[in-house]
Structure formats: C-alpha cells, structure tokens
Amino acid sequence: MSTAQTHKKSTILICDDEEGVRRSFKLILSPTYDVCLAKSGLEALRMLKDSAPLAVFLDIRMPKRHGLDILQRIRKLKPSVPVIIVSGYQSVDLANEAFKCGAVDYIPKPFSSKQILNVLEKLSSGSGKI
C-alpha cells in the first residue's frame, strides 16, 4: 500500500445555506480532502463538537444565525481551527468585523477553485495563518 493510501485525508467543513455553493466546494476539494457539508451554522457547530477539521469555510449570511455569531461560537468551541469567511456580500466593514472575530481569511463569492486551494495550501504549509 502506498504512503498516500495509508494517510487519512484532512477534513474540511463547509457551512453554507446554498446547495450549489456546497456542491462547488465538494467538487473542488474532494480529490484532496474529506469534505463535510453543513446547511446551517448550528449544524456546523454540532459537527465540530466531535471533530477538528483542517479548516472551516463559513458563509456570513444564513437564515436564523448570522455567520459572525457562528464564527464567534466556533472560536470558543475550537479555537485552533482556522475559519475562512465566504460571502456574496462584499463589504470592507463586514470583512473587518470577521477578522476581529477571528477569521483568518475572507473570500468573496463567486470564488474560483484556485482561491480556495490557495487558502488551504497556506494553511497546510504549517503556519496556521494566512
């Protein structure tokens, strides 16, 4: 068995209320990572209780719970897990607020596969910071 087959893939958690966005992430990431998909912030928090993914990609605007609220709860629950905000609402104020709450990066929608993979490459390099 090759070395690649003996190592477990790192897990990436995607939290977005849009099915198309979740599907895009899965297509981009599944060749390299195990991808867990959450439709809501509360679902993502439940998934995080028993896991420590390499990273979380989190939408800001979701029904019921705002992404910044979920971001703050993730920071308390799993402070070492990097959170990357993904949002269709491009706002400097919103991005600054996300960074104040502990996000390590902010990617606007629509995103490219290169943007997503570049963020993960930086995280995987061991620095833990973007």
Mean predicted confidence (pLDDT) in 37-60: 95
- The total of structural domains in the chain comes to 1
In a domain, 127, yes or no: no
- Domain of residue 102, CATH code: 3.40.50.2300
In a domain, 67, yes or no: yes
Average pLDDT of the chain is 89
pTM above threshold 0.75:
yes
* Structural domain harbouring 89: 3-120
| pLDDT confidence band for 63 (50 / 70 / 90) | confident
In a domain, 130, yes or no: no
Mean predicted confidence (pLDDT) in 26-39: 96
pLDDT of 24 above 90: yes
pLDDT of 124 above 70: yes
In a domain, 125, yes or no: no
Which contacts of 61-67 are long-range, i.e. CB under 8 A and separated by 24 or more positions? 61/87, 61/88, 61/89, 62/15, 62/16, 62/17, 63/17, 64/40, 65/40, 65/41, 66/41, 67/15, 67/41, 67/98
| Burial status of residue 67 (CB atoms within 10 A of its CB: 0-12, 13-18, 19 or more) | buried
In a domain, 129, yes or no: no
